[in-house]
């Protein structure tokens, strides 16, 4: 279950006043200083390293590059890493007037043109993984490979819903979060990280505080765009290596094998896709099991640049 599952299935719980965690706050891996920072349309871009191959990282809903800090540090030793921040997230205001997915795509391809980036590997988490799938459907020929960490072509809880039901769910979820106060957003993110985000209680407070820097209107707009979409019809157009990292933690109402089978069913029409489970990890698997996520990234890089 990802972040939007909590927003859709337990929104009322998310916005109540909660007792702060008694666990001492952990220190997240710090981001290295970027070599440069710039904007392309609504995208903010931080560049790290200057290696021959390019890797583009897309964080998840309400997140910034901080969630990928460890991987950015490691990957930028040999490659050029471009870490994106979406409009409305990580302290940036939401300024998109149209569909955010459409604007993201335009800005992404403009980034490749402006910087002459050839066939990058794209790594995305959650919403960022879904955006990466969108890019692969649009222009697989311009990418070398895609890794999605718990980012799927359709919102899992709506996989059997029709377009009308998805639109209704999108309107309801976005309306709930668009009007929250900062304190309510902190409470929401705290519950989310406790229940869905991470197995490490010491990471709840620092990650919730970082996520709550985002603009609720931006979160609402991205949720609405995500919930209403079904990318499955376009998966057949993906011709490059695609790895889906699937976090799995017990106890769960489903076995790991059942969960893998469900993820595979959602990606069935992507002939190049493989689902790789990450055990003992929740949605932020890069925080719970960083070495396993690193192994998945290495696997993709080997496939993308044999």
Output the pLDDT for position 85: 98
Output the pLDDT for position 43: 98
Output the pLDDT for position 27: 65
Output the pLDDT for position 20: 32
Secondary structure in 3-state letters for 177-209: HHCCCHHHHHHHHHHHHHHHHCCCHHHHHHHHH
What mean pLDDT comes out for the span 240-251?
97
Bigger pLDDT: 5 vs 269? 269
Give the count of beta carbons closer than 10 Å to the beta carbon of residue 159. Answer: 15
Output the pLDDT for position 306: 83
* DSSP codes of every residue in 223-264: HHHHHT-B-GGGGGG--S-EEEEEEE-SS-SS-HHHHHHHHH
What mean pLDDT comes out for the span 150-171?
95
* DSSP codes of every residue in 123-190: EEETHHHHHHHHHHHHHGGG-SEEEEES--SB-GGGTT--HHHHHHHHHHHHHHHHT--HHHHHHHHH
Sole residue written with tokens 């300024």:
95
Mean pLDDT estimate for the chain: 91
Output the pLDDT for position 1: 40
Output the pLDDT for position 304: 96
Q: Does the pLDDT value for residue 58 go beyond 60?
A: yes
Give the count of beta carbons closer than 10 Å to the beta carbon of residue 279. Answer: 14
Bigger pLDDT: 234 vs 16? 234
**Phi, psi angle pair for 196, to nearest 5°:** -125, -35
d(CA 223, CA 219): 6
What mean pLDDT comes out for the span 54-76?
98
- Give percent of the chain with pLDDT exceeding 90: 90
Q: Does the pLDDT value for residue 205 go beyond 70?
A: yes
Domains of the chain: 3-304 (3.40.50.1820)
Q: Are 146 and 130 in contact (CB under 8 A)?
A: no
Give CA separation, 2 vs 6, 61, 149, 284, in Å. Answer: 7, 10, 10, 9
What mean pLDDT comes out for the span 59-81?
97
Residues 6+ apart with CB under 8 A from 196: 1, 2, 3, 5, 6, 282, 283
Output the pLDDT for position 21: 33
Among candidate residues 88, 78, 34, the one with its CA nearest the CA of residue 298: 78
**Phi, psi angle pair for 146, to nearest 5°:** -135, 135
Among candidate residues 136, 74, 71, 132, the one with its CA nearest the CA of residue 284: 71
Q: Are 131 and 124 in contact (CB under 8 A)?
A: yes
Q: Which two tokens stand for residue 57?
A: 């990282």
Output the pLDDT for position 2: 46
């Amino acid at each position: 279950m990802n972040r939007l599952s909590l927003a859709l299935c337990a929104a009322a719980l998310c916005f109540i006043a909660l007792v702060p965690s008694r666990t001492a706050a952990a220190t997240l891996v710090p981001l290295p200083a970027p070599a440069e920072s710039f904007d392309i349309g609504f995208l903010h871009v931080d560049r790290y390293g200057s290696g021959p191959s390019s890797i583009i990282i897309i964080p998840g809903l309400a997140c910034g590059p901080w969630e990928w800090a460890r991987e950015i540090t490691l990957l930028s030793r040999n490659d050029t890493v471009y870490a994106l921040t979406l409009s409305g997230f990580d302290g940036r205001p939401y300024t998109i007037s149209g569909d955010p997915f459409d604007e993201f795509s335009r800005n992404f391809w403009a980034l490749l043109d402006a910087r002459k980036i050839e066939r990058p590997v794209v790594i995305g988490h959650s919403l960022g993984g879904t955006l990466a799938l969108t890019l692969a459907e649009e222009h697989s020929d311009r990418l070398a490979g895609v890794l999605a960490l718990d980012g799927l072509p359709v919102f899992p809880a709506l996989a059997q819903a029709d377009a009308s039901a998805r639109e209704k769910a999108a309107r309801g979820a976005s309306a709930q979060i668009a009007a929250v106060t900062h304190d309510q957003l902190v409470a929401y993110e705290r519950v989310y990280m406790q229940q869905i985000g991470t197995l490490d209680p010491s990471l709840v407070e620092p990650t919730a505080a970082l996520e709550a820097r985002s603009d609720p209107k931006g979160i609402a707009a991205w949720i609405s765009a995500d919930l209403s979409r079904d990318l499955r019809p376009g998966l057949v157009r993906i011709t490059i290596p695609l790895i889906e990292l699937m976090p799995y933690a017990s106890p769960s109402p489903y076995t790991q094998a059942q969960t893998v089978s469900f993820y595979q069913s959602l990606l069935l029409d992507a002939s190049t896709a493989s689902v790789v489970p990450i055990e003992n990890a929740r949605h932020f698997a890069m925080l719970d099991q960083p070495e396993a996520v690193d192994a998945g990234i290495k696997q993709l890089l080997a496939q993308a640049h044999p």
